[in-house]
Amino acid sequence: MKYFFSTVLIIIILSANVLTASAVELAQLNFSSLETGVLSVEYQMNTESNTRIMIENNGERHFYRLSYDLKQESFPLKQGNGEYTVTVLAHINGNQYRPIITEMIQVNNVDESRMYLGSIQEIKWNETMDSIQKAQELTQGLQTDTEKVEAIYHYIVQNFRYDYEKVTALTSDYLPDIEIIFAEQKGICYDYASLFAAMLRSVGVPARMAKGYAPGIVEYHAWNEVLVDGEWIVIDTTMDAAYAAGGVAYDMIKNAEEFQKQIAI
């Protein structure tokens, strides 16, 4: 289950005369649903460029790409309540960027159960997608979150396989496309975790993607944490799909202490 997540080194240049023309015009920052722990950004690109957005809280910075072919993206406010600095960064050269727009926002009263239900850049979904319609089909008539989690979990574990070819051609900007993953029924751990989280969120079950190190896996890994009956449980569909294919016994719920989580969204 080899996979890696590339770390992008970004150097921020503060000199005002480094770049005179902006590659992006920000139409607005949408603050209408901050209580869900999600920042929605609406924007327009002048040219196709490697524009980034930086979200900073308590000295912790997270960088995301603003895609040229889109006009709206959503990003998690990972630290929950607090003051955030949101900065749009224009690409200068290599790994150098210049801040062109900065906004300060105060986030209060984040509802954690809603924070992990929405669509964000790494877990992007909408109700028209085949994968999401499948989630509705799988959970139709089910009453509890446990039943819904098990139905979607077993579907992924029994029908999807690891994509060993894909992992050799990844770029640092790779993002899962759950419709492609669903159609091909294969992917890397990042894909498995994104798809599982999206399908669960679409049926009202809070789910997040975790990244770090898992037992028995040397490389950087992705898995899920799911909120069931008020408790976050660890589920690794990538690992269990491999076990299922190899006829090895496994349990859906993992021991969280055995996973070295570095980030969760």
Say if residue 185 is in the same domain as residue 250.
Answer: yes
Predicted pLDDT of residue 3: 42
Sign of the alpha-carbon torsion through 170, 174, 180, 186: positive
DSSP, collapsed to helix, strand or coil, labels residue 137 as helix
Q: If you average pLDDT over residues 213-223, what whole number do you get?
A: 94
Instruction: Name the domain boundary from 111, 143, 166.
Output: 111
Q: Specify the pTM.
A: 0.88
pLDDT number for residue 170: 83
Asked if 150 and 55 sit in the same domain, the reply is no
- The residue among 60, 78, 111 that closes a domain is 111
The size of the chain, in residues, is 265
Residue 216 included in any domain = yes
More confident residue, 144 or 47: 144
Residue-wise pLDDT tens digits, 57-91 = 998 999 998 887 778 899 999 888 999 999 988 88
Domain at 235, CATH number: 3.10.620.30
> Which pLDDT score, from 0 to 100, does residue 23 have?
57
- CB under 8 Å to 207, separation ≥6 — which residues? 116, 196, 197, 200, 201, 224, 225, 226, 227
Q: What percent of the chain has pLDDT over 90?
A: 61
19: left (phi over 0), alpha (psi -120 to 50) or beta: beta
- In a domain? residue 117: no
Torsion of the alpha carbons at 242, 136, 261 and 217, rounded to the nearest 10: 10
> What's the pLDDT score for residue 6?
43
Whether residue 188 lies inside any domain: the answer is yes
Domain of residue 199, residue span: 130-264
Please name every residue paired with 226 in a beta bridge, in sequence order, or none if there are none. 207, 233
> pLDDT averaged over the chain?
88
- The answer on 194 and 84 residing in a single domain is no
